[in-house]
Amino acid sequence: MVTKKSYSKKRILLLAISFVVMLGLLVGFFGPSVAQAWGLVPVTSIVSVNTGVSVTVSGANFPAGQVFTVRMGPYGTYGVGGTVVGSYDTSAGTSFTTTYAIPGALASADRIAIRFESSSGYFSYNWFNNTATGAPTALPAGPTPVPGYVGYPTFSITSVAAGSTVTVQTQNMPAGQAFTVRMGDFGTLGIGGTVVGTTPTTGGSYSLTLNIPSWLAAKSQIAIRMDGPNGYYYAFNWFYNNSTTVASTPVPGSTPVVPTSPAVPGYVGIPTISIASVVRDSTVTVYGYNFPAGQTFNVRMGPYGSYGMGGTVVATLDSGAGGSFSATYSIPASLAGSQQIAVRLETANGFFYAYNWFWNNTTN
């Protein structure tokens, strides 16, 4: 016979076990807040390529205590879902130079995407021309942030003279850094593009007018990129190569309206999103990481390659206490039937944003 006293003890024990199990499931599902665990963005650069055989990659700013799966895939996929070619355990160092074999299926590809991603949601991606380059070199001394600088640099397109010039407006540029400005084919993020100028070192916000290289003059879309002198800071964007002036361009003599950093005490890094699952032509579920607290994000979807800029608003997100979250959004009817779709979350002032893309196929 079970007494009331012994039954109560068993019940308390079962409840305690259930709570621990549920807590473990929640932590495993949502993962750690990037803001709590790290404050930098892991970056990779291509050191050398042995055509169709291997690529040597340098990494910097990788978080400690993480095992990254390394994947390669077709150019344009960012390595998402690519072939696993190895792994890297950051207990061996948060900056590194490592060589990985190119999968046989990609050996004859012109360009290849490579991606590092951990089970905790950290990731970094890049791409390379599958053409032999020089011997590997040691990773230079790790770049360091500008003391007192908060956030990250961005720039927007304010006007274009087709085939001739583009004018950009920078925001939140760090002081003492001369950025190299490049232009290249749409979809390359401007990586390895033609150098078209440099930026001032004064920091803050300013306007720049840059010449479009002749080989890009007839292109319909052009990527533009700004790289800091030591690779720590960078920003990129793209524009339609049509003569136009953006409606928000300031009237000459007036003070331009520039996105400023909202007061989010203690927040560092950038918000990111990853794709959790898709129901074709119906919904997409995303995971968000390291979102700032107290911000309202517009959720947009648009054609692949647009980064979601100017896309259809499908929802809004209140970031609440910030950190990590999971949310499901409806795919707009105008994108039904698309093979790939871009999704973007951005604040009204454009200071905080995150984007990704997904295959419009039912999958988990």
Q: What is the number of alpha carbons within 13 Å of residue 213 lying toward its C-beta?
A: 17
- Which of helix, strand or coil describes residue 170? strand
pLDDT for residue 221: 86
State the pLDDT confidence band at 347, using cuts at 50, 70 and 90. confident
Cβ proximity of 324 and 245 under 8 Å: no
Q: What pLDDT, in 10s, does the model give residues 317-334?
A: 999 998 899 999 999 999
Q: What pLDDT, in 10s, does the model give residues 130-159?
A: 887 654 444 344 456 778 787 778 888 888
Q: What pLDDT, in 10s, does the model give residues 270-307?
A: 788 888 899 999 999 999 988 999 999 999 999 887 78
Residue 173 or 26, more confident: 173
Residue 147 lies in a domain: no
Could you list the residue range(s) of the whole structural domain that residue 117 is in? 38-129
Asked whether residue 327 falls in the same domain as residue 344, the answer is yes
Asked whether residue 80 falls in the same domain as residue 123, the answer is yes
pLDDT for residue 136: 41
pLDDT of 2 > 80? The answer is no
Q: What pLDDT, in 10s, does the model give residues 67-103?
A: 999 999 988 788 888 899 999 998 888 888 899 999 9
pLDDT of 112 > 80? The answer is yes
What is the gyration radius of the CA atoms in the chain, in angstroms?
23
For residues 242, 243, 247, 252, the Cα torsion angle rounded to the nearest 10 degrees is 150
| Cβ count within 10 A of residue 105 | 12
Residue 252 lies in a domain: no
Buried b / exposed e across 61-82, counting CB within 10 Å, b at 16+?
bbbeebebbbbbbebebbbbeb
Residue 134 lies in a domain: no
For the full predicted model, state whether its pTM sits above 0.85. no
pLDDT for residue 133: 67
Asked whether residue 175 falls in the same domain as residue 104, the answer is no
Asked whether residue 283 falls in the same domain as residue 235, the answer is no
> Per this entry, what is the length of the chain?
364
Asked whether residue 63 falls in the same domain as residue 97, the answer is yes
Asked whether residue 187 falls in the same domain as residue 117, the answer is no
| Cβ count within 10 A of residue 163 | 15
Asked whether residue 61 falls in the same domain as residue 123, the answer is yes
Asked whether residue 24 falls in the same domain as residue 43, the answer is no
Answer with the one of 129, 162, 194 that is the final residue of a domain: 129
For residue 111, the domain's CATH number is: 2.60.40.230
For residue 309, the domain's CATH number is: 2.60.40.10
Residue 159 lies in a domain: yes
Asked whether residue 58 falls in the same domain as residue 78, the answer is yes
Residue 215 or 137, more confident: 215
Cβ proximity of 284 and 328 under 8 Å: yes
Asked whether residue 288 falls in the same domain as residue 339, the answer is yes
Asked whether residue 95 falls in the same domain as residue 161, the answer is no
State the pLDDT confidence band at 237, using cuts at 50, 70 and 90. confident
Q: Looking at 219-295, which runs of residues are DSSP E strands?
A: 221-227, 234-240, 244-245, 272-279, 283-291
Answer with the one of 204, 228, 245 that is the final residue of a domain: 245
pLDDT for residue 190: 83
For residue 172, the domain's CATH number is: 2.60.40
pLDDT for residue 134: 54
Residue 193 lies in a domain: yes
pLDDT of 212 > 60? The answer is yes
Sign of torsion over alpha carbons 181, 63, 143, 115:
negative
Q: Encoding tokens for residue 195?
A: 């150098």
What is the tally of structural domains in the chain?
4
pLDDT for residue 260: 54
Residue with tokens 């079970």: 2
pLDDT of 311 > 90? The answer is no
Asked whether residue 51 falls in the same domain as residue 86, the answer is yes
Residue 146 lies in a domain: no
Among 30-44, 162-176, 219-233, where is mean pLDDT lowest?
Answer: 30-44
Measured in degrees and rounded to the nearest 5, phi and psi for residue 55 equal -135, 140
Answer with the one of 129, 163, 178 that is the final residue of a domain: 129
pLDDT for residue 40: 58
Residue 278 lies in a domain: yes
